[in-house]
Structure 1
């Protein structure tokens, strides 16, 4: 459990120990899911003299790194050293899960691949996240979120029509690959209860990005349609999009005939219901640009707050478009409590983005700030039965 706390982040996964060999984002995202639900996560990093930092992860005490690595313990271990690998195997013999996001050939070269670790502990669930998969023609390529966004088709459908490819404003391939890997780990742990055996869980940025295309991918696979950029308009449900008001912008989703009817009444345009250009979903799709212009001419006559209130009261999905600070100030967001504050140490009060899932009996909490480099090395090794003299020797030889 996190250092200095009497209880884990949750009791849901507190019986599991996870060895975290990950860096940057996709791997830490995966492990964060396990740590936030109470697993005893041990973040393993190179000793200080050998550490090259966490590329793309920002400084250790920056907001990005801190949000990714809460609720963990940390130790240093030189995996390029035979003694370091031996210690990792000793840890793995008692662990439940290993998560890594090395390039596929690196773990084999270090001697810490799935086969090597399963030989030590057949019950081990070993999760690997890569850019393109563990094998195949691109397996050796370095993975990067924006590359996966492009190759996974997302950038071709993001942005305004004919704008050219546009990246999404978050590292969505990284994040989804990590979340899917965490889901795979949980599935494998559930299966282990039946078989008694661990297995190799694999996810990649490319696979995750393709899966997230969802209906846009199935449009091609099942209907032979190549989706295009639709900007703020929904590609198939019309009218859905961004509309300007007298003091800002809002989203409206007036999809389906019943909602469309209510929408026309609220806007004071019952004549649209019989206008042949807008009367059916098909005709609205065909005349989308003209319809959007007519809608915006009406929405410009009142404030965003008034429209959001009136449309929602009528059962028409509608919402403001917030900046991030405005989003966290929203009463519903505050009620949900997704921004979790933690006091402690010399950090003062820090707010983290909490889990978006609620469990009634075993909720998730932020219980510890991210550990310093190697903060828990000694206690973890002492738990393994390694005495203080041996620990001092390992440190002197830069094994830890």
Structure 2
């Protein structure tokens, strides 16, 4: 991989200072970096971002994903010298990202209001558990807490078991994604006015935004959504069904699609049967219908069932894991996975850049910085025009 400062991406020329740690702030930086922005990550000199050590397996590699396209500068934000250097860099930046507890920047003499006096076009993305205002704003808040308060955790799992987690840090990444969206909107506003602004992205609100009609249903009729395992109430058929060699997901709840599924099952009359002919009727007999489909799918292998679903035009799919993704031709054709050279791990595979832009494609231009502060001299020279090291 050949590194280049000019990316050709949609955000080429945009400079970002990232102060965040762990997931939410750094994921926001990853998204902006993939789109071409230059990301300078400020890390504590001794320890760096804890994400350097996160992941699973003998060689955790999450850092390689979340820190790609970034430059590491070691800065002790608790010291006057570090705060001074941070202010100098922020004065040259378009966007500042942080995900500390509200009030932390102010305590470090980095109040966004003061920073914007020096740099009026500065956009500050602030990601936190509960937002910058309100009675809970000063509380510590991780992604799981946001998922619980936003309603996600309460509906994931089975009704006879405690709430389950998603399996990935969805609260953090949602809040980061909304922070990125806010930054892009703020850049558009700045292009017209020259003025920056604050983007306040709360973990619980990011989760709340994707909770569909849970609040509205309760407001309108007193209905509370409950944990229902692998199904959605009254949406049928839409479930994971057993095959001889595993499980397979079928989503055929729309009337026309259900008719095609019934034909593939050799039971075309199901589409005309008053018990199953409409969305409401199928929803009322969800368990009964799932049992009929499961009895049919259990007679086939996944490959046999998939061939039938493709031929019938029924939305359906295998349950993929990482090994399946690496072997799949569609992933390869769309470059959904990319290869990044790594000095320690060799070539490493990871998710590509999304969404795909036709005129200004995003890219992975450089691997994650292996050591804390490795890019300090380079960044200080290019951004500040001076020789020196980190602070």
Give me the TM-score of the superposition, normalised by structure 2: 0.93
SS of equivalent to 2:124 = strand
Q: Deviations over 1:148-174 (max 9, x none)?
A: 221111122111233331111111000
Give me the whole-angstrom Cα distance separating, in 2, the residues matched to 1:97 and 1:266: 54
Match of 1:375 in 2: 374
1:217 Cα deviation from its structure 2 partner: 4.0
Give me the whole-angstrom Cα distance separating, in 1, the residues matched to 2:223 and 2:354: 34
Give me the whole-angstrom Cα distance separating, in 2, the residues matched to 1:40 and 1:144: 27
SS of equivalent to 2:103 = helix
Give me the whole-angstrom Cα distance separating, in 2, the residues matched to 1:217 and 1:146: 20
Answer whether contact 2:144 2:169 (CA < 8 A) is retained: yes
Equivalent residue for 1:58, pick from 43, 53, 65: 53
Q: Deviations over 1:261-299 (max 9, x none)?
A: 111111011232343332322222111111111111111
1:118 Cα deviation from its structure 2 partner: 0.7
Match of 2:31 in 1: 33
Answer whether contact 2:92 2:383 (CA < 8 A) is retained: no
Give me the whole-angstrom Cα distance separating, in 2, the residues matched to 1:218 and 1:91: 45
Answer whether contact 1:44 1:75 (CA < 8 A) is retained: yes
1:387 Cα deviation from its structure 2 partner: 4.7
Give me the whole-angstrom Cα distance separating, in 1, the residues matched to 2:243 and 2:353: 33
Match of 2:189 in 1: 191
Q: Deviations over 1:230-277 (max 9, x none)?
A: 211133421111111122111111112111111111101123234333
Answer whether contact 2:126 2:198 (CA < 8 A) is retained: yes
Match of 1:15 in 2: 13
Q: Which runs of 5+ in 2 are unaligned?
A: none
Match of 2:205 in 1: 207
Give me the whole-angstrom Cα distance separating, in 1, the residues matched to 2:225 and 2:142: 24
1:56 Cα deviation from its structure 2 partner: 5.9
1:75 Cα deviation from its structure 2 partner: 0.8
Change (3 A) 1:387 1:186: closer
- Determine if the alignment matches structure 1 residue 130 to structure 2 residue 125: no
Match of 2:151 in 1: 153
Give me the whole-angstrom Cα distance separating, in 2, the residues matched to 1:220 and 1:270: 37
Change (3 A) 1:220 1:142: same
Change (3 A) 1:303 1:59: closer
Change (3 A) 1:191 1:221: farther
SS of equivalent to 2:367 = coil
Deviates more, 1:205-214 or 1:330-339: 330-339
Deviates more, 1:89-98 or 1:376-385: 376-385
**Structure 2 counterparts to residues 1-400 of structure 1, below 5 A:** 5-48=3-46, 51=47, 53-55=48-50, 58=53, 62-343=60-341, 345=343, 347-371=345-369, 372-385=371-384, 387-388=386-387, 391=388, 400=391
1:57 Cα deviation from its structure 2 partner: 5.6
Answer whether contact 1:21 1:100 (CA < 8 A) is retained: yes
SS of equivalent to 2:41 = strand
RMSD value, Cα: 2.1
Change (3 A) 1:340 1:105: same
Change (3 A) 1:329 1:218: farther
Answer whether contact 2:101 2:128 (CA < 8 A) is retained: yes
The number of residues matched between the two structures is 387
Give me the whole-angstrom Cα distance separating, in 2, the residues matched to 1:302 and 1:59: 40
Answer whether contact 1:20 1:100 (CA < 8 A) is retained: yes
Change (3 A) 1:88 1:7: closer
Give me the whole-angstrom Cα distance separating, in 1, the residues matched to 2:220 and 2:94: 40
SS of equivalent to 2:127 = strand
Give me the whole-angstrom Cα distance separating, in 1, the residues matched to 2:142 and 2:270: 47
Answer whether contact 1:8 1:367 (CA < 8 A) is retained: no
Answer whether contact 1:299 1:307 (CA < 8 A) is retained: yes
Change (3 A) 1:58 1:344: closer
Answer whether contact 1:8 1:39 (CA < 8 A) is retained: no
1:124 Cα deviation from its structure 2 partner: 0.4
